[in-house]
Each structure stands twice: as structure tokens, then as C-alpha cells.
Copies of this chain bind each other. A is one copy, B any other.
Amino acid sequence: MTRTEATRTGLDLAPDARVGIIAGGGSLPVEIARALARQGKSPFVVMTAGEVDRISDFDDYEQVTLRLEDVGSLLPTLKKHHVTHLVTAGHITRRPRLSAMRLNLGLLAWVPSLLVGVTQGDDTVLKLFVRRIERSGIKVVGAHEIVPELVAAEGVLTKAAPRKSDWRDIDAAHAAAKAIGALDIGQAAVAVGGRAIALEGVEGTDGLLERTRQLRGHGRLAGRTRGVLVKCAKPGQELRADLPSIGPQTVEAAHAAGLAGIAVEAGRSLILEGPTVVARANALGLFVVGLPAAEPAHGK
């Protein structure tokens, strides 16, 4: 089972600590806000314009909406609202358009990160982002530290367990996901019949699974059933910024793609809406398994 026993955050927050959330799409930022509110630590939410899809779920919290292009005003805004800890959560599908940026002093501080980010991939940008924020005295924390109950546990989490042939698929997809992760291209791969057949690029996991669904009719997969999705952190990944995650829609899409199950790395992945994930996987006969992680759970 996912670790539902945890009710407190994994952080020891001082009485005057205030957590800011940079919120993107999906349910993770909502779950983080709720976990903080439950402990009497109402968060300050920075809604990323055009990315947050569960807008009304943030109605109870103090908030501001920020365009990606206005990243220059992020630090002054956080300071004004006495934010001491910052967590980024949810997917940001857009990238800032340089042409839409207003030049100001706040933005200038980000220019080195932006220039590097243009050619070196998201993970580099995220690491620079963390460094830049922390230089201002705000501590950047990971979603897994605030909602440790979402962190994937090790072992089989569902009624169904991988068969021997599924473990071959898991190994093949895991190796592929690690290889493309090392190149900072994607986090996920699908294997069928003991071979990786589809790799995640910029289209994301939903796109990868939709493609897998369409590939089922492909001649080279003739007669092949089952298969798995493996999603894992990149080697050396900044865990405070972009932890791999799955949720109920991942289970639905994996099932639609004809897969037998999903594997993630324990301690280095999040399972959003864990009880729903497990219930849907059980109803559909899919397995969800947490693999032993090759690296420790905390970012460098």
C-alpha cells in the first residue's frame, strides 16, 4: 500500500515559517496546500498562469497569479508575503517566451539561468532555479518532504503482481528510461515482449501512453500482449523540482494502452491520489510496483 499512515509533513517547520507553493497543473499542488492547511500552516500560492487546472481548489489560500514571463517579480512577491520555504508542484507545459518578457531588474537576475536553460534542458534550469531562490534566503523543499504520504513505497502495491515476463518488461523499460533520463530527454518508457518499444520525449507520459495504445495494431507488436510503463527519476535528478509522478489517469491510460502494469522507483516517485490509483488498478487488474531505487531519496 502507499504510505497512508503519515499525517504530518516530513519537515519541522518553525512557528513563523511560511510555505510558498509554485503551482502548476494537476492534483499535486492541491494535495500539498491541503496537507499544509491541515497543520495550520496555510500556504501562499503562486498560481502559474495558464497551467493551474484546479483553480477553485485554491480559493481558501492567499494567492497571486504569475505569468511565466514575469518570473522577475517572483522573489519580491515571495519576500513581501514572508515566504520562508518554497515548493514547486504540478506540471508546467509551457516554457516562457523571451519575447513576452518585460525587462526589469528582477528579471535580469534570472538571465543566466534562462540562457543556460535554452540549451541544457529542464533539469539544469531547475537546479539553477533552486540555487537562485536559496541565495535569497528562502529554502527550497521537495513535494516529497511536505506530503511524504505520496512517496511511492517499495514492493507490489496492488492485488495483481508482475509475472516473470512482466519483470523482463520492467527491466527493459527501466534501462531505457534511465538512458533517456541521463540525456535529460524524458522520464518514462514502455516495454512490451521484453523490449522497450516507446520512449517519452517532450510529449510527456500521457502522450507516450496514447502512442502505445495506437501502436498495439502495429505489425511488429503482432501477438504481443501485456507490457509495462516504467517511470523514474533521472540519474542525479533534482528531486526538489520535478519528481516523477503517476496518478489515476496514468492507470487509466496504461490500461487503455493494453499494459499489464506500472513500475516507479520507491522513495523517488510520487503516487498522486494513492487510494484511487490502487483502487482503479485493482479494478482493472493492473499492477503498480515500487522498485528499489538505485540512488538515495534526497536531492543533491
Chain A 191-212: CB-based contact to B (< 8 A → 1; otherwise 0): 0011111110111000100010
A contact residues, total (Cβ < 8 Å): 40
Q: B-contacting residues of A (Cβ < 8 Å)?
A: 93-95, 97-99, 118-121, 168, 175-176, 179-180, 182-186, 190, 193-199, 201-203, 207, 211, 215, 218-223
The one of B95, B98, B175, B186 that contacts A183, using a Cβ cutoff of 8 Å: B175
Contacting pair B220 A93 (CB below 8 A): yes
Q: Min CB distance, A187 to chain B, in Å?
A: 13
A-B contact list, 18 entries, CB within 8 Å: A93-B218, A93-B219, A94-B219, A97-B222, A118-B193, A119-B193, A121-B195, A175-B183, A176-B180, A176-B183, A176-B185, A186-B199, A198-B203, A199-B199, A201-B211, A202-B220, A207-B211, A211-B211
Alpha-carbon separation in the docked complex, A149 to B196 (Å): 34
Q: How many copies does the complex hold?
A: 2
8 shortest A-B CB distances, which residue pairs?
A: A94-B219, A119-B194, A198-B201, A93-B219, A197-B202, A199-B199, A185-B196, A97-B223
- Chain B residue nearest in CB terms to A199: B199
Other A-B pairs beyond A94-B222, A119-B194, 8, CB < 8 Å: A94-B219, A97-B222, A99-B223, A120-B194, A180-B180, A186-B199, A198-B201, A207-B211
Q: Contacts A95-B220, A218-B93 hold; do A119 and B180 have CB atoms under 8 A apart?
A: no
Alpha-carbon separation in the docked complex, A4 to B175 (Å): 42
Q: Contacts A93-B219, A211-B211 hold; do A184 and B176 have CB atoms under 8 A apart?
A: no
